[in-house]
Amino acid sequence: MAKKVLVVDDDENTVKFLTAALEENGYEVVPAYNGKDGLEKIQNERPDLVLLDVMMPKKTGFVLFKQLRRDEQYKDLPVIMLTGVAEVLEDLDAQSGDTAESPYDSLREAMRKSIREMREEGLVKPDMFIDKPIDPELVVAKVKELIGV
């Protein structure tokens, strides 16, 4: 039976081409267009892996991710974050607040807080970050790495 991948992104086009790429490689794809929708699909469809966008209406990717990690049932579910700010997340530890003030500070601060909370609770980081613009072939390769074909 084909492995099931849930793609959660509010951008229809992203969902569309990721679906094409994954299906091309033998995966079954379930689409969701916001965080709330994503959670429902996780509960109903039992995917093997979740591709999760961060900036989404109705429950951001981070909120959904935290919820999954806190849930005994889903805490080991592989998640790939489709975030345009992956580098910020990866560099969180290295950063010491020396960046010039920018309008994105509040966003960064919110993410720092999320990550801090997750660490304090002993929750792991997402399995992977893939920055936008997304290379569909890279996504497929990472999915294979995490759950096989």
What residue ranges bind another protein (CB under 8 A)? 10-11, 13-14, 16-18, 20-21, 24, 36, 53-59, 84, 100-104, 106-107, 131-137
Taking the complex as a whole, the smallest distance from the CB of residue 13 to another protein amounts, in Å, to 5
Q: Which is nearer to another protein, 44 or 106 (CB)?
A: 106
Name the DSSP letter for residue 148.
-
Q: What is the Cα–Cα distance from 64 to 16, expressed in whole angstroms?
A: 21
Q: Which is nearer to another protein, 18 or 32 (CB)?
A: 18
Residue type present at position 53:
D
How is residue 14 written in tokens? 């992203």
CB 41 within 8 A of CB 65: no
Taking the complex as a whole, the smallest distance from the CB of residue 26 to another protein amounts, in Å, to 14
Residue with tokens 């609770």: 121
Taking the complex as a whole, the smallest distance from the CB of residue 142 to another protein amounts, in Å, to 15
Residue with tokens 């916001």: 34
Taking the complex as a whole, the smallest distance from the CB of residue 100 to another protein amounts, in Å, to 3
Q: Which is nearer to another protein, 37 or 79 (CB)?
A: 37
Taking the complex as a whole, the smallest distance from the CB of residue 83 to another protein amounts, in Å, to 10
Q: What is the Cα–Cα distance from 70 to 77, expressed in whole angstroms?
A: 11
Q: How far is CA 128 from CA 1, 12, 51, 80, 125, in A?
A: 25, 22, 10, 5, 8
